[in-house]
Structure 1
Amino acid sequence: MRFLGRSLTGLFLLAATLGLLAMAGSMINSAIKARAERDSADPGASERIFSANVMTVTAGTLTPVMTAYGELSSRRALDVRALTGGTVTEMAENFQTGGVVQQGDKLLRIDPTDFEFSLELAKTDLSQAKAELRDARAALELARDDLNNATRQADLREAALTRQRDLVTRGVGTEAAVETAALAASAAQQAVLGKRQSVITAQARVSTAEAALRRSQIQLDEAQRRLDETLIHAGIGGILTDVSVLRGGVVAANEKIGRIIDPSTLEVRFRVSAAQYARLLDDQGRLSNTDITVRLDAAGLDLIATGRIDRESADVGEGQTGRQIFATLDPSPGMRPGDFVTVTVDEPQLDGSVLLPASALNAQNEVLVLGPEDRLSSARVELLRRQGNDVIVRATALEGQEIVTERTPALGAGIRIRPVRPGQPPAPESQAEMVTLEPERLARLRSFVEGNDRMPEAARERILAQLDTGALPADTLARLEQRMGN
């Protein structure tokens, strides 16, 4: 009996064990199938719609603006130099850096003592030369009078010789008287020759005295010029800068002691690329006198001046590219030589062009066009100019259509958008459909969410907060029940 009882107990335990194993296998099989169904199930996500700014393409005539950067300089500037060396004895009160001077103003004076002595000596030499010239001219007059007197005596001797010869011819005179008259006439002619030599000598003395007088006059002028050079005046009107001398200082000849700059005659030099330079040429290939605008950013207060292109540099410059252009400016208060400014130049007008934000164009010169059902398509345009944050394109085929003004990585061809037009608020997003839950269904969902350790904490809290209200969005409910296997 004991054996039979033990056998029945063993059979019961074996049957129970097999049943439990079968039930466990069935549960594992069901779990594997549910997991496979969840992994292969369609997530059922809805299409996402993005908001994007759009604008209507309207072609017109635009004037591109070329932007460059340049430096101001003065067209009238003068170095103040000491023309002679010496000690500075006098100096004007405004002879300092920043001082304003007018043309002809006295700036400073170098010690003139030595030059005044030289001037007095030159005046003395000039007076002596004038006296010598007066004496030479008086001697010349006397020599000429002596020559005239000797000439008259020679004429009388010739007349006496002629008379004696006539007497001999008539038989009244003698040969001795003729010879005596002939000798006297010859002596008179010899005296005339001597007087002529004296006149020539006197003329040479006059010429020498005149040359000495001119030399003395030149020396006097030179001494006066050297004396005048000790007093330095302003050659032009303007503002002083780089003043490097003080009263009592010693300067050398040709030493630079300052600089005068006229700030009312400014010009700007700026450099453009070869392509930009080509757009500034006229039909004859010459640089056109285009109007320009110069802007100086002075701590938020912009100083603006206008001008015209004047000339261009003859060469490119070592280590440089493009072209250097010079433009003269109209009177521009507040600007000074050396200022770094922004230069804008109006280019020739472009017909049939559109101004777009640079963010509307990609690297392939394509824009996104708004099509039916607010879906995007891509279209290529012709890029004409880039200026700042905008571009000028030619898009004749897109006339009247709307394009996206700000491309983002999320936007592309085929994407549906919610267009935001200028002056209009963005369209409100559609509210998600809410589903009210029964208590049993709500309890199952809460239990699943609380027990799901793979769900992010932020998402779990958000869903639990929604479950507390007793309703869930339809798409969220569908995803949860798909994961639960229902």
Structure 2
Amino acid sequence: MRFFGRAVGGLFLAAVTLALLALAVGVVMGALRERMAGGGPARPAEERVISANVVRVEAGHIVPVITAYGEVRSVRRLELRVPRAGRVAELSSSFADGAIVRAGEVLVRLDPAEATAARDLAAAALAEAEAAGREAARGLDLARDDLAQSEAQLALRGQALQRQRDIEARGAGSAAAVETAALAEAQAAQALLGSRSALAQAEAAVDQAAIAVSRARINLSEAERALSETVITAEFDGRLEGVAALVAGGQVGANEVLGTLIDPAALEVSFRLSTAQYARLIDSRGQLVEARASARLDVAGAALAAEGRIVRAGASGAEAGGGRVVYAALEAAPGLRPGDFVTVAVEEPALDGVADLPATAVDAQGRVLALDGEARLQEVAVEVLRRQGDRVIVAPGGLVGREVVAERSPLLGAGIKVRPVRPGEATEARAEPEMLDLTEERRAALIAAVEGNARMPQEAKARVLEQLKMERVPADVVARIEARAGG
């Protein structure tokens, strides 16, 4: 009986001993796993700090830019038309689409035979009218001389009548002599009246001859103009477009369009602005300011650009759908052509005491997240003056000198503490990765974890082991190894 009790007691002690050994092994293995996973005693939960890109609000002098889209137009544009029908006698080698021509260059010459004959007939008619005018002038001189003779004869007849009356008064004459002298005076007066009528007719003939000469000269000028219009020349230096297909010997109709001459050096761009944008380009007198403007056409990685100034605005807002059509004269536009659709940038009057911020820093309600002295965020309302692409111009108010979040996100809000990342610091962080100093125990655990990873390629394993043997090890390498070992 005593033997049986001792046997049971021995078995119990053996079972307790094995249980203690198992517990000890479990504790040791748990400690090793926590050590390899970088774990340790549970620490109190810390406040989460989020990294955020920040910019400093600086107030200064900024020139806002309005961006619009417009079309390049030519200020000097001339249609080449044929005033009269005719046959094409000669064509210039430059008469083609896109050809550059010089002022005065002959482009098309029509057959001048009919126009030359008409000019010669008009010249002959003018010579005839001038001869008639000279003849009328000579007739006028003769009429004036005849009038003078008639006046002299009337004077003599008057004297003779008076003499007969004096003789009759003395009783020496007769009544018949007096009557004869009176009749002679009446005939002289009649002759004077006829001379005056002839003079009037001669003067009228001179006037008619002058009118005939004027008419003949007009006809001659018209004939010479018709002859000159048989030659179509370039009125100014330019480029041809829309040229009609003509051949020598072909017929053209009256007023037919042969092409269009465009001056590529006199260009302007027309573009549409909203009423609000237009209002920012007028001065205190309501006049449109001559703001600087630039036109840009992006083509296949290159850019054709031109500078200019605003010169006028459209007379009606209806043509711009309630806005305004504005025109800017281009000073020099190499490569641009009429009809090009370009991007127009117009400089507004400068603004003082304003700040330029990223568009991602301001929400739809015009609020920004500003840092306080403890690097916590607080919402501050600002007045948005302009939105320009990915930038905004604001009236900073009391934010001058403070830092604001450059890129808002759902993780950021009022009261959250952030780790500010400034533009220069972000660049340095990307350039120099964080390095860690490891204890020998932690280094040995990391090396054991890498060597025990059968799924890692040999080349990658050798590279990581080489990094772990360095005095300072990249933090991202350590974090990856410990994450895998812990999982």
Give me the TM-score of the superposition, normalised by structure 2: 0.74
| Runs of 4+ deviating beyond 6 Å | 44-47, 427-431, 433-436
Give unmatched runs, 5+ long, in structure 2: 1-41, 443-477
Residue in 2 that maps onto 1:98 = 98
The question of 1:412 aligning with 2:413 is answered yes
Task: Give per-residue Cα distances to partners, 1:156-203, cap 9 Å, x unaligned.
Answer: 333333333333333333333333333223222222222322222222
User: Is the partner of 2:214 in helix, strand or coil?
Assistant: helix
Task: Give per-residue Cα distances to partners, 1:368-403, cap 9 Å, x unaligned.
Answer: 334566554433332221111111223333333332
Deviation at 1:141, TM superposition (A): 2.6
The question of 1:265 aligning with 2:266 is answered yes
Alignment of structure 1 residues 275-286 onto 2, 5 Å: 275-286=276-287
Alignment of structure 1 residues 310-329 onto 2, 5 Å: 310-318=311-319, 320-329=321-330
User: Is the partner of 1:330 in helix, strand or coil?
Assistant: strand
Deviation at 1:70, TM superposition (A): 1.6
Deviation at 1:85, TM superposition (A): 1.7
Give unmatched runs, 5+ long, in structure 1: 1-41, 437-470, 481-486
Residue in 2 that maps onto 1:140 = 140
Task: Give per-residue Cα distances to partners, 1:222-247, cap 9 Å, x unaligned.
Answer: 22222222222222222222211423
> Equivalents in 1 of 2:144, 2:403: separation in Å?
113
Residue 149 and residue 399 in structure 1: after superposition, are their counterparts in 2 closer, same or farther (change >3 A)?
A: closer
Residue in 2 that maps onto 1:186 = 186
Residue in 2 that maps onto 1:114 = 114
Q: Which amino acid aligns with 2:52?
A: A
Residue 144 and residue 394 in structure 1: after superposition, are their counterparts in 2 closer, same or farther (change >3 A)?
A: closer
Deviation at 1:313, TM superposition (A): 0.7
Residue 299 and residue 175 in structure 1: after superposition, are their counterparts in 2 closer, same or farther (change >3 A)?
A: same
Deviation at 1:315, TM superposition (A): 0.8
Task: Give per-residue Cα distances to partners, 1:24-82, cap 9 Å, x unaligned.
Answer: xxxxxxxxxxxxxxxxxx9x988765443222223333222221222221222222211
Any conservation in 1 of the 2:158–2:185 contact (CA below 8 Å)?
yes
Any conservation in 2 of the 1:289–1:308 contact (CA below 8 Å)?
yes
User: Is the partner of 1:172 in helix, strand or coil?
Assistant: coil
Residue 45 and residue 173 in structure 1: after superposition, are their counterparts in 2 closer, same or farther (change >3 A)?
A: same
- Please tell me the root mean square deviation across aligned C-alpha atoms, in Å: 3.7
> Equivalents in 2 of 1:416, 1:153: separation in Å?
134
Residue in 2 that maps onto 1:67 = 67
> Equivalents in 1 of 2:157, 2:199: separation in Å?
22
> Equivalents in 2 of 1:154, 1:59: separation in Å?
110
> Equivalents in 1 of 2:388, 2:416: separation in Å?
30
Residue 57 and residue 173 in structure 1: after superposition, are their counterparts in 2 closer, same or farther (change >3 A)?
A: closer
Any conservation in 2 of the 1:59–1:396 contact (CA below 8 Å)?
no
Q: Which amino acid aligns with 1:343?
A: V
Residue 364 and residue 172 in structure 1: after superposition, are their counterparts in 2 closer, same or farther (change >3 A)?
A: closer
Residue 272 and residue 319 in structure 1: after superposition, are their counterparts in 2 closer, same or farther (change >3 A)?
A: closer
Q: Which amino acid aligns with 1:76?
A: R
Q: Which amino acid aligns with 1:282?
A: D
> Equivalents in 2 of 1:167, 1:407: separation in Å?
140
Q: Which amino acid aligns with 1:352?
A: G
Alignment of structure 1 residues 82-93 onto 2, 5 Å: 82-93=82-93
Residue 211 and residue 472 in structure 1: after superposition, are their counterparts in 2 closer, same or farther (change >3 A)?
A: closer
Residue 187 and residue 107 in structure 1: after superposition, are their counterparts in 2 closer, same or farther (change >3 A)?
A: same
Q: Which amino acid aligns with 2:218?
A: I
Residue 428 and residue 233 in structure 1: after superposition, are their counterparts in 2 closer, same or farther (change >3 A)?
A: closer
Q: Which amino acid aligns with 1:144?
A: R
Residue 393 and residue 429 in structure 1: after superposition, are their counterparts in 2 closer, same or farther (change >3 A)?
A: farther
> Equivalents in 1 of 2:47, 2:179: separation in Å?
156
Q: Which amino acid aligns with 1:241?
A: E
Aligned residues: 410
Residue in 2 that maps onto 1:256 = 257
The question of 1:212 aligning with 2:212 is answered yes
> Equivalents in 1 of 2:308, 2:434: separation in Å?
53
Residue in 1 that maps onto 2:24 = none
> Equivalents in 2 of 1:198, 1:238: separation in Å?
63
Alignment of structure 1 residues 48-447 onto 2, 5 Å: 50-246=50-246, 247-318=248-319, 320-371=321-372, 374-424=375-425, 425-426=428-429
User: Is the partner of 1:326 in helix, strand or coil?
Assistant: strand
User: Is the partner of 1:179 in helix, strand or coil?
Assistant: helix
> Equivalents in 1 of 2:165, 2:107: separation in Å?
88
| Greater CA drift, 366-375 or 119-128 | 366-375
Q: Which amino acid aligns with 1:111?
A: D
> Equivalents in 2 of 1:330, 1:137: separation in Å?
62
> Equivalents in 1 of 2:408, 2:220: separation in Å?
85
Task: Give per-residue Cα distances to partners, 1:443-485, cap 9 Å, x unaligned.
Answer: xxxxxxxxxxxxxxxxxxxxxxxxxxxx999x989x99xxxxx
> Equivalents in 2 of 1:383, 1:409: separation in Å?
22
Residue in 1 that maps onto 2:21 = none
Any conservation in 1 of the 2:319–2:325 contact (CA below 8 Å)?
no
User: Is the partner of 1:171 in helix, strand or coil?
Assistant: coil
Any conservation in 1 of the 2:272–2:320 contact (CA below 8 Å)?
no
Residue 205 and residue 405 in structure 1: after superposition, are their counterparts in 2 closer, same or farther (change >3 A)?
A: same
| Greater CA drift, 416-425 or 88-97 | 416-425
Residue 163 and residue 377 in structure 1: after superposition, are their counterparts in 2 closer, same or farther (change >3 A)?
A: closer
Query: What is the aligned-residue identity percentage?
Result: 48
Q: Which amino acid aligns with 1:303?
A: L
User: Is the partner of 1:423 in helix, strand or coil?
Assistant: helix
Deviation at 1:87, TM superposition (A): 1.7
> Equivalents in 2 of 1:146, 1:58: separation in Å?
106
> Equivalents in 2 of 1:280, 1:211: separation in Å?
60
Give me the TM-score of the superposition, normalised by structure 1: 0.74
User: Is the partner of 2:332 in helix, strand or coil?
Assistant: coil
